[in-house]
């Protein structure tokens, strides 16, 4: 395992020792009995998002705990986070929120009328035919969902609104980084396999091509949302808005990032060059922020299963407990 650690503090060892029994039970558990699960609805840009909240059982009405927002990756969902993440973080003493992006999972998607709408000065109910948009990968829309989810979590009565953590995986890690750099209620960031440098990752896509796509979309020549007629990566789910992704770059926010940041990568990452993403982020904040970089053996999807997932969870839990526990 490749490990860059800027802090060799006794507290880390102490925390790991104190939580050993908890972690050993988590690794074998499939049903957490000491956690309460609730399904909730979040509104983002006028669209309903499906979300799950996990809380330790037995909380009193006046008791408050730190909150953690889980941000899924490309094609991920709150269901993917149910088994190995959400309830397990809650059992450590956090209130945890996981959600589906708009047009993914159990969330609604945008709707596009198939015909022109009648003019109206005020809001009006209409009986019209629409297309329900699904599985769009558009980072700015997704970032709006992350922001809405963060505000929902901060408004939860038993959450300490100024003591929040954010964990993101894959595409979601870049979104989490932007939010951590933009909202001072967030006190800690975990970036798991995050593509954070789209200038490098999409360097082969000319800016002129991106502008052409957005021009044709604005003029109605291309569909208003990407669909099956558009180019996509066969290894990834859904329909990406490549032009929007060309404009999106979390590394533009690196100087605004001011929270302890744990960066976890896969040694054999094939979806992007980790030396220009996670490693670059680590080097950019090293010496200015508390940070730790770890790369586990295997590829991108190996971190979601087996020993790698368990080891990454342990590192993440120690990091979150260290910086969020009051």
Distance of alpha carbon 148 from alpha carbon 49, whole angstroms: 9
SS (H, E, C) 231-286: CCCCCCCCEECHHHHHHCCHHHHHHHCCCCEEEEEECCCCCCCHHHCHHHHHHHHE
Q: Is residue 117 part of a domain?
A: no
Examine the pLDDT at 200 and tell me if it is beyond 50: yes
Assess if residue 78 is contained within a domain: yes
Quick: pLDDT tens for 234-268.
Answer: 778 899 999 999 999 999 999 999 999 999 999 99
139 found inside a domain? yes
| Model confidence band, residue 10 (pLDDT cutoffs 50, 70, 90) | very low
pLDDT tens track for 29-88 = 334 569 999 999 999 999 999 999 999 999 988 999 999 999 999 989 999 999 899 999
Domain count, the chain: 1
pLDDT band at residue 229 using 50, 70 and 90 as cut-offs: confident
pLDDT at 230: 72
CATH number assigned to the domain comprising residue 210: 3.40.50.1820
pLDDT, average across residues 273-286: 98
263 occurs within a structural domain: yes
Which pLDDT belongs to residue 25? Answer: 37
Confidence of residue 232 (pLDDT cuts 50, 70, 90): low
| Residue 319 located in a structural domain | yes
pLDDT score of 325: 76
Contact 129, 113 (CB under 8 A): yes
Is pLDDT larger for residue 22 or for residue 75? 75
Range of the domain at 171: 2-112+130-324
From CA 53, how far away is CA 72, in angstroms rounded? 14
Residue matched to tokens 């929270």 = 259
Q: Is residue 124 part of a domain?
A: no
User: Residue 32: what pLDDT?
Assistant: 55
Residue 179 has pLDDT above 60, yes or no: yes
* Cβ contacts of 130 within 8 Å, gap of 6 or more: 111, 112, 113, 114
What is the per-residue pLDDT for 189?
A: 98
Does residue 50 fall inside a structural domain? yes
Residue written as token pair 């066969």: 234
- Going by C-alpha positions, the residue among 305, 271, 286 that lies closest to residue 196 is 271
Own/partner pairs for 231-239, CB < 8 Å, 24+ apart?
Answer: 235/271, 236/74, 236/75, 236/137, 237/74, 237/75, 237/135, 238/74, 238/75, 238/104, 238/135, 238/136, 238/137, 239/135, 239/136, 239/137
Give pLDDT tens digits for 122-161: 998 999 999 999 999 999 999 999 999 999 999 999 999 9
The average pLDDT across 6-20 equals 39
The reported pTM is 0.89
Identify whether 119 is part of a domain.
no
């Amino acid at each position: 395992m490749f490990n860059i650690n800027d802090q060799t503090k006794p507290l880390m060892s102490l925390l790991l020792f104190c939580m050993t029994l908890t972690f050993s039970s988590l690794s074998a558990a499939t049903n957490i009995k000491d956690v309460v699960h609730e399904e909730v609805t979040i509104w983002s840009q006028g669209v309903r998002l499906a979300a799950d909240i996990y809380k330790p059982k037995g909380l009193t009405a006046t008791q408050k705990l730190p909150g953690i927002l889980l941000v899924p990756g490309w094609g991920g969902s709150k269901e993917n986070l149910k088994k190995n993440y959400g309830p397990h973080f809650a059992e450590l003493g956090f209130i945890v929120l996981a959600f589906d992006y708009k047009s993914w999972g159990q969330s609604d998607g945008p709707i596009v009328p198939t015909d022109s709408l009648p003019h109206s000065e005020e809001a009006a109910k209409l009986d019209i035919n629409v297309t329900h948009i699904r599985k769009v990968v558009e980072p700015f829309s997704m970032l709006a969902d992350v922001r809405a989810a963060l505000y929902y979590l901060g408004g939860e009565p038993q959450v300490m609104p100024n003591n929040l953590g954010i964990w993101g995986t894959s595409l979601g890690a870049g979104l989490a980084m932007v939010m951590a750099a933009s909202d001072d209620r967030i006190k800690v960031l975990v970036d798991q396999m995050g593509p954070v440098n789209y200038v490098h990752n999409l360097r082969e896509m000319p800016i002129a091509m991106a502008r052409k796509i957005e021009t044709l979309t604005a003029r109605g020549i291309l569909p208003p949302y990407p669909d099956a007629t558009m180019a996509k990566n066969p290894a990834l789910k859904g329909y990406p808005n490549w032009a929007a992704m060309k404009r999106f770059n979390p590394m533009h926010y690196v100087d605004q990032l001011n929270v302890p940041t744990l960066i976890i990568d896969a040694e054999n990452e094939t979806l992007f060059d980790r030396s220009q993403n996670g490693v670059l982020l680590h080097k950019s904040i090293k010496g200015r922020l508390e940070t730790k970089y770890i790369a586990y053996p295997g590829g991108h999807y190996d971190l979601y299963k087996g020993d790698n997932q368990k080891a990454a969870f342990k590192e993440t839990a120690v990091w979150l407990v260290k910086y969020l526990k009051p």
